[in-house]
Amino acid sequence: MGRGRIRFPDISPRAYEHPADRGALVALRAIPGFDAVLKALSGAIGERSIRLLYLATSIRVSPRQYPELHRLIEECATTLDVQPIPELYIEQSPVPNAMTIGLDKPIIVISTGMLQLLDEEGLRFTIGHEMGHVLSGHAVYRTMLLQLIGIAQSIQWMPIGVWGLRAIIVALNEWYRKSELSCDRAGLLCVQDPAATLRVHASLAGALNPDEMDVAGFLDQARDYQSSGDVRDSVLKLLQVWGQTHPMAALRAAELQKWAAGTEYQDILAGNYPRRSGDKDAPFSEDVKAAAASYQESFKTSSDPLFKVVGKVGGVMGGVGGLAANRVRDWWQAGRNEPPSAEDANES
């Protein structure tokens, strides 16, 4: 493992998943038509098509090709106890990016721009982040998002039908931004160095030499962004994230550093974390209640004026989330043969 990093045998993704991630996914599955679209796309895409594409257009990491990256992905898989180890591909692109896609056997793709931007510990964090997506089962939804974006772009001329796709795309983007917060935590569990994660976020924001930057100043940017302005600025912030799949770099950095300084991270390092072997009996409704509490806490503590205006709806949304959670929990514990319908999820 190197440097005496701690391993987390049998760790459940519940250990690191952000409560907003789980809450957004429950809300996503309640969208009318979502499950039908998911089933249709799953049958149309095919696992082999995705793998063949990257075999033909990218570099597959192995002991002979990018051996250092091969070592990193093996170490991250060992840290989070992920088996089998997903294939890692390097694609030619100047844009720093990494993603996990696929259905039953997800693959990880990292761009050459990301390789050139980060040092070894930064790459360990990035690969660990993507390993978090694998462990949490996010790849299928990410694949669905990419396919839907392509479909929507090809049928923009159609006045009917495309709006339903766009609604699902917007909801998927909202969930995916939340899932990135979860997997940043998984990346931290792999690198086990909060400073290394901060350098990655700073680099993604534009720091050419993050070791020489004012770390406190970078985190101050997130606080200033969240606290400054009036309701007009709040609306502008909503427009800025429209269509974005990733949270803004400074906000991601602040969120992860807050978690790194808290008790949850320290408990996991000490070996106190939920196990996958206990996932079947986990109280799923409690997870979603935690998500509702997280949203409500955000409303209470945020200095954003728009949050203050709508903060009173937190309790109502929490109640609705609890009802949907009960339906999802029943489906989960029954064996997940058929997902709950939108009507079931919304039934009161």
**Active site positions, annotated:** 130
Written as one string, the DSSP assignment of 211-238 is GGS-HHHHHHHHHHHHHSS-HHHHHHHH
Q: How many angstroms separate the CA atoms of 222 and 155, rounded?
A: 38
Q: Is 291 helix (H, G, I), strand (E, B) or coil?
A: helix
Q: What are phi and psi of 160, to 5 degrees?
A: -115, 135
- φ/ψ bin of 106: left (φ > 0), alpha (ψ from -120 to 50), beta (otherwise): beta
**Which residue type sits at 159?**
P
For residue 69, the cross-strand partners are none
Alpha helix (H) residue ranges in the chain: 19-29, 34-45, 47-57, 67-80, 112-117, 120-136, 139-154, 162-191, 194-205, 215-227, 231-240, 249-260, 263-269, 284-301, 305-310, 314-333, 342-346
Sign of the dihedral defined by the CA atoms of residues 99, 102, 104, 110, in that order? negative
DSSP state of 261: T
Closest CA to 287 of 20, 6, 7: 20
For residue 90, the cross-strand partners are 59, 110
For residue 60, the cross-strand partners are 89
Radius of gyration (Cα) for the chain, nearest Å?
A: 20
**Which residue type sits at 229?**
G
